Amino acid sequence: MPKVRLTDKFVASVSAPPGKRLDVHDENPRGAGLMLRVSETGRKAWTFRYRTENGDKRRLSLGLYPDVSLVEARKRCAQARLQAIDGVDPAGEKRRKRVERQSQTIKTFRDLSVAYFDATDRGEWKPRGKRKRPSTIAAEKWLWTKHIEPALGSLRLEDVTPAAIKELLRKLLAKGQDTSSNRVRAQIRQMFNYAILEAEAAAFNPVSRVPAQGSEVPRDRVLKDEEIRSIWAALDDPESLVSATGTRRANQRVYVSRPVGLAIKLLLLTLQRRHEIAGMMRTEVDLDQAVWSIPGSRTKNGRPTLVPLSPSAVELIREAISLADAGHATPSRFVFPARWDRDKSLSPASLTRSLRDVRSALALPCLTPHDLRRTAATMMASERLRISPFVIGRLLNHTSEKGGAASVTLSTYALYDFMSEKRAALAAWDRLLGSILTAHAERAHPSERKHQISN
């Protein structure tokens, strides 16, 4: 049983002697107790070896390589080691959970999906060490229902083979859905990781033998001034829009509710993500101080952020709250409550669908909510405003903009730093957007100047 300071290169290349099994212990202090077991067939499994409070030797399976990388194995080992130090038997706890699940027999892929989504909903399955956001879970359920379940749901787990997965991915690629192909592959892989590590319903992840096949090209779509004007005007008067021929709802009137239209406008004004806009809560916004405080539980990187609100953004939010309260005795917690359930927020997917219908009716190129965020950031950095990329990064809440060794200080103790710079940047963008929206009206007859930024 050799002891080696494990590296990615070593783990990838190590093999067992012919006809034997090889156990390699990690010499790195961060991996104390971590062992890599290499079988004669080439299978590599991570194990944590420890002693209980009574001195009994125990072994806990941490997953298979390469599904679980060296970094992830050390992380899981450290978590289990802390449990053991606190007097908890990690392997015994795992067995206890398995006994609790005995009543739930997982035979088919559909059975696995039920257990998987139940665990993610309750926060028990946290592959990255933190609970998944509701929007992430909703996206995973959509992938399952739309693409995975129809093709593989009825198969027994052992029949969800690499060949079956490849066939599904090829069909998506044939339709030009490269991104969906990669997302489906990642989703199946994660569900089988759960089956191996938590449900113990599978011993092998078939996706490990299925490379990603979709070619994803980073988007660089930035709207032109005339596109911004036409979209803004359409959001003010969606009843005049008719879906284009060749679409699923060709020659039908495009329906975009006023709250959804306001939310789409805020995407462009604030540079925030669609799920952050759609889930905006009243307790997060201080309209008198013109500040929106987004908690870390609702941001992509888990870090809280303060967003200064421009005058136009404040006016749009006030209108959204007024619409949400109309006809209701009790106000909703959300600025944009769901139409049929005021205890829930507007679905982020509603913004995507409405924006897609609008741009289709206007015969514009493909457009997503994130393209609005990119457009605003690009125009800020352009010669039209010349705003510092650092300030733009702070507005976008990019962790990479927090600055190396100073990241802890900037993210934890200086939440209010750069507020004046961010406010000045958004105010400048507000003015530029206003000039873009009124440019056409100023050249037209004064009576036609009706699409102001506050509408």
Confidence at residue 69, expressed as pLDDT on a 0 to 100 scale: 93
CB 367 within 8 A of CB 224: no
Closest CA to 125 of 31, 136, 294, 69: 136
- Summarize the confidence of residues 435-450 as an average pLDDT: 59
Reported as a single tens digit per residue, the pLDDT across 100-134 is 655 457 889 999 999 999 999 988 888 877 788 88
Residue 443's DSSP bridge partners are: none
Given pLDDT bands bounded at 50, 70 and 90, which one contains residue 415?
low
Tell me what pLDDT residue 53 has.
82
Q: How far apart are CA 246 and CA 227, in angstroms?
A: 21
Q: Identify which of 399, 383, 394 has the alpha carbon closest to the alpha carbon of residue 423.
A: 394
Q: Which secondary-structure segment (H or E) carries 298?
A: none
% residues pLDDT > 90 (the chain):
51
Distance (Å, whole) CA 208 – CA 392: 39
β-strands 57-65, 291-294 pairing: unpaired
Mean pLDDT of 201-230: 85
Q: Which fold has domain 225-448?
A: hpI Integrase; Chain A (1.10.443)
Eight-class DSSP state of 448: G
Would you state the pLDDT for residue 218?
A: 63
Spatial separation of the C-alpha atoms in residues 408 and 163, rounded to whole Å: 46
- Please give the average per-residue pLDDT across 178-183, as a whole number: 89
Look at residue 407 and tell me whether its pLDDT is greater than 60: no
Query: In this structure, are strands 305-308 and 291-294 parallel, antiparallel, or unpaired?
Result: antiparallel
4-51, pLDDT tens digit by residue? Answer: 889 999 999 999 988 899 999 998 887 788 999 999 888 999 999 998
Computed over every residue of the chain, the mean pLDDT equals 85
How many beta carbons lie within 10 A of that of residue 225, not counting itself? 15
Is the pLDDT reported for residue 412 higher than 50?
no
Mean of the pLDDT values across residues 326-347? 91
What per-residue confidence (pLDDT) applies to 98?
Answer: 67
**What is the sign, positive or negative, of the torsion defined by CA atoms of 182, 188, 192, 197?**
positive
The yes-or-no verdict on residue 137 having pLDDT over 80 is yes
What are the domain boundaries of the chain? 3-100, 109-209, 225-448
- Residue type, position 318, single letter: R
Q: Which residue did the predictor score with more confidence, 417 or 282?
A: 282
Q: Which of 133-147, 231-245, 386-400 has the least mean pLDDT? A: 231-245
230-265, pLDDT tens digit by residue?
Answer: 999 999 888 777 766 445 555 677 788 999 999 999
As a whole number of Å, the CA-based R_g of the chain is: 26
pLDDT in tens, 52-74: 888 888 889 999 999 899 999 99
386 Cβ neighbours under 8 A, 6+ residues apart: none
Residues in the chain: 455
Q: What is the pLDDT of residue 178?
A: 84
- Above 70 in pLDDT, residue 85? yes
Mean pLDDT for the stretch of residues 418-429 = 93
- Domain 109-209 fold: DNA polymerase; domain 1 (1.10.150)
> What is the model's pLDDT at position 406?
42
Q: And the tokens for 138?
A: 């909703």
DSSP-assigned letters across all residues of 204-269: --GGGGS-----PPPP-----HHHHHHHHHHHH-GGG-BPPTTSTTTTSB----HHHHHHHHHHHH
Q: Which residue from 3, 14, 4 is spatially nearest to 45, judged by alpha carbons? A: 14
* Residues linked to residue 337 through DSSP beta bridges, in sequence order: 345
The highest-level CATH class for domain 3-100 is alpha beta
417 pLDDT higher than 80: no
Q: What is the pLDDT of residue 212?
A: 87
pTM recorded for the entire structure: 0.60
| pLDDT above 60 for 193 | yes
Token output for 364: 């514009």
pLDDT band at 349 (very low <50, low <70, confident <90, very high): confident
Per-residue pLDDT at 454: 46
Q: Tokens 């194995």 identify what position?
A: 73
Q: What is the pLDDT of residues 307-320, one digit of tens each?
A: 999 999 999 999 99
| CB-count burial class (<10 Å; 0-12, 13-18, 19+) for 277 | buried
Question: Locate tokens 């039908």: which residue?
Answer: 252
